[in-house]
Amino acid sequence: MFVTSKPDTKAKRLSPEHEQIIIATLPAVGEQIETIAHTFYGKMFSAHPELLRDTFNRGNQKSGEQQKALAASIATFATMLVDENAPDPVDLLNRIAHKHVSLGITEDQYQVVHDNLLPAVAEVLGEAVTPKVAEAWSAVYWIMAEVLIEHEKVLYASDGVENGDVFRDAKVIAKNVLTERVTEYVLVGDFTEPQPGQYTSIGVKLADGARQLRQYSIIGGDATQYRIAVETDGEVSNHLRQHIEVGDTIQATLAAGELVLQASERPAVLISSGIGSTPMVGMLAHLAQNNANREVLYLHADDSAETWAQEGHIRALAGQLDNCQLVAAQRSAGELLDVTAHNLVGADVYICGGNNFLQAIRSNIDSLDDAAKPSSVSFELFSPNDWLIR
């Protein structure tokens, strides 16, 4: 599921009355937004335990990452509605929309969120939430929700499927242990063609009966086969490693994700850390098959040579390209990736890795003189941490 268009964040505006109320109450809501988000999830999961059991990732809930992501999206969107100089959260909402379609989220579920979010705001802020204030914040929510709903409909339509109809039975035909922590799986099913860099949501039923979902980048595949590399770090990945073998059937969703290799003749710079190499492998595979003469620079950081799970695959793909430079750094040896030491002028840059890595790389790129900066910078987040990187 992919389109080149992005969510239309400017299609609807608040009424003048609602805008003034949001301006007046935004500081108070912003100060308490994470508490509001935490209260909201508690209310929603109490009323709809099936959502935590079968749709939301319990690990992200336990860590608080999901709450922070929701808080960031609401506060950022509300700010944009009342401040013409505020950044447009279009890229943030595009990421959210892709995550949603990869989980099969449908329009009716937005009402469930609304019916638990507004009471959470009232509970946290107390008497300050008058009926007029509640009405104004409800308007903010529905404008944001409608932006997402409309874009998600477009994404579902791009693969010709009904809204939410993205789960497919996937048979495991290969399982290869790459390192102590990373395992590769090859899945076959009735999929759709993935764009280079996209991911699939894998669903497994755990011992307690819960269906838990986790998204993994597709490192190669077509409409009948997805290949993924999974780092063992949570309920889903542990279940896959310990209980799923060749011949077993799991669930996988149609490919989604906004981090997609652009069709371009500009140089491509791929930057990754650890298991963040997975979307880059998908991009390299696509380049090797379709554009072998494009200039490519791949920068990767890992703890050691032993933990670089996809080194062999990456070097093999790089060897199929006519103009590919591969640079690796080992953190255990104190080596660092210095992106400013390389020519990024006019390049399309793609980044994937942990929070600190992403922030450090983006800061390095931002420090470049305008004449030395790349044409575009895109990145993938492996957890709902939009509150950290916008």
Residues marked active site are found at 110, 152
Q: Cβ distance 100 to 29 under 8 Å?
A: no
Q: Cβ distance 354 to 274 under 8 Å?
A: yes
- Helix boundaries (H) for the chain: 16-31, 33-47, 49-54, 58-63, 65-82, 90-102, 108-125, 131-158, 235-243, 277-290, 311-319, 355-366
Tokens of 23: 């301006």
Q: Cβ distance 177 to 32 under 8 Å?
A: no
Q: Residue 197: name the closest of 170, 219, 169, 228 by CA.
A: 219
**Terminal-to-terminal C-alpha distance of the chain:** 23
Q: Cβ distance 268 to 294 under 8 Å?
A: yes
Which residues, other chains included, contact 234 with Cβ-Cβ below 8 Å and sequence gap of 6+? 57, 59, 214
Q: Cβ distance 390 to 90 under 8 Å?
A: no
d(CA 274, CA 42): 33
Which residues, other chains included, contact 299 with Cβ-Cβ below 8 Å and sequence gap of 6+? 269, 270, 271, 272, 327, 328, 329, 337, 339, 342
Tokens of 365: 């790129």
